[in-house]
Amino acid sequence: MKILIPVLIALLGTACSTQPLRGTGDMGIIIERAIGRVQIVEHSHNTSLAKVEGLGDLSHASLVFSRDARYAYIFGRDGGLTKVDLLTQKIVKRVIQSGNSIGGAISQNGKLIAVANYTPGGVKIFSADTLELVADIPATYGENQQSKTVGLIDVPEQKFVVTLYDAGEIWLIDMQNISSPAITKFKNIGSLPYDALLTPDGRYYIAGLFGEDGLALLDLWHPENGVQRILNHYGRGREPLPVFKMPHLEGWTTAGNSIFMPAVGQHEVLIADKNTWQQTGSIPVHGQPIFVVGRPDNRHVWVNFAHPHNDTLQVIDVETRQIIKTINPGKAVLHMEFTPRGDQIWVSVRDEDRVDIYDTRTFEKISSLPVDKPSGIFFSNRAHQIGL
């Protein structure tokens, strides 16, 4: 019997966790940007489950989820790549993989994590399981110069796309053969591409240009056509206002035949036709828009704004193109995330240390969670979406 006790204790410690079984489909992570911490939350009952510390500089953090929606891979500004277990509520592994990184992506098959780096530039690709380095792809251009990389996104058929900020290039990286990445380079795509988006179907990769007007479009079904320029007037032209913050390209919404996107430096949401890539309209809004995000059924888009108008949200009806609701959550509304079927939207109110939860049908605030300087909110259904 004395032998049995250590066996039972060992079983308690290993085969079995102190955490109960739970599904991971309704979970999420909120970044507490100032203190290197994240909160693990769930949206069935709108509670915070745990706080996980020790993630370094999260001042511009983003993340992707594992294929099984159990783990989050968090990309920190300090080059840290941290794998957090939503179930044990602990850091599984953390590596400082560069001096400064801006974001990353998970491969279609879930086996690779790719990170875009500012310092020293380039893309590093890791095993999602172990975080061991699988491939190191320097972003070399010109006379052995190294470029910052941005807008790194997974695309179908086990590929990634990334944009080289300094080089003005887009690279398509095929990871079908892990030991030998096949890279297709598109050069002279425009000046200082600073961010990118993938249309929800995974077909079009679009990079924004900081150095000139217009956007660079790569049709992934026809890479042989090269990168084309679209929306030539998109940018800072036309008697610009001071640009307080460049809008996030991930904040575009495709609804029906239209794409709703933030104007740069103007108090407008722009509308373009997704078949012709021509601007078809604009909607005057409260400030310089940052994120223009569609409710999952795309009937409404929600818009937040740059300083000094960042205490406000506006809701646009897609069909009538009218603003149907204006809400003032509080100081510094940084990010919004819808629950998967769209019944709720969670809103980070950074300077008031809260995440507010709204009913998207009634626009009523239904709950609020205390969160230290919240920025990004990420729900685990992103695990299943191309480009997220």
Binding site for a second copy (CB under 8 A): 1-2, 4-5, 8-9, 11-12, 15-27, 42-44, 65-71, 86-88, 108-110, 154, 156-158, 176, 201-203, 221, 255-257, 275, 295-299, 319, 340-343, 361, 380-381, 383-386
Other beta carbons within 10 angstroms of residue 141's beta carbon come to 17
Q: What is the DSSP string of 161-230?
A: EEEETTTTEEEEEE-SSTTS-EEEEE----S-EEEEEE-TTS-EEEEEESSSSSEEEEETT-GGG-EEEE
Nearest distance from residue 169's CB to a second copy, in Å? 24
Q: Which is nearer to a second copy, 71 or 234 (CB)?
A: 71
Other beta carbons within 10 angstroms of residue 181's beta carbon come to 20
Q: Which is nearer to a second copy, 25 or 226 (CB)?
A: 25
102: nearest Cα among 58, 140, 71: 58
Q: Which is nearer to a second copy, 65 or 75 (CB)?
A: 65
Nearest distance from residue 221's CB to a second copy, in Å? 6
The Cα–Cα gap between 376 and 78 comes to 17
Nearest distance from residue 332's CB to a second copy, in Å? 29
Q: Which is nearer to a second copy, 136 or 319 (CB)?
A: 319
Nearest distance from residue 16's CB to a second copy, in Å? 3
- With a CB cutoff of 8 Å and minimum separation 6, the contacts of 359 are 343, 344, 366
Q: Which is nearer to a second copy, 138 or 342 (CB)?
A: 342
Q: How buried is residue 143: exposed, middle or buried, by Cβ count under 10 Å (0-12/13-18/19+)?
A: exposed
Nearest distance from residue 232's CB to a second copy, in Å? 24
Nearest distance from residue 337's CB to a second copy, in Å? 13
The Cα–Cα gap between 195 and 178 comes to 26
Q: Which is nearer to a second copy, 139 or 172 (CB)?
A: 172
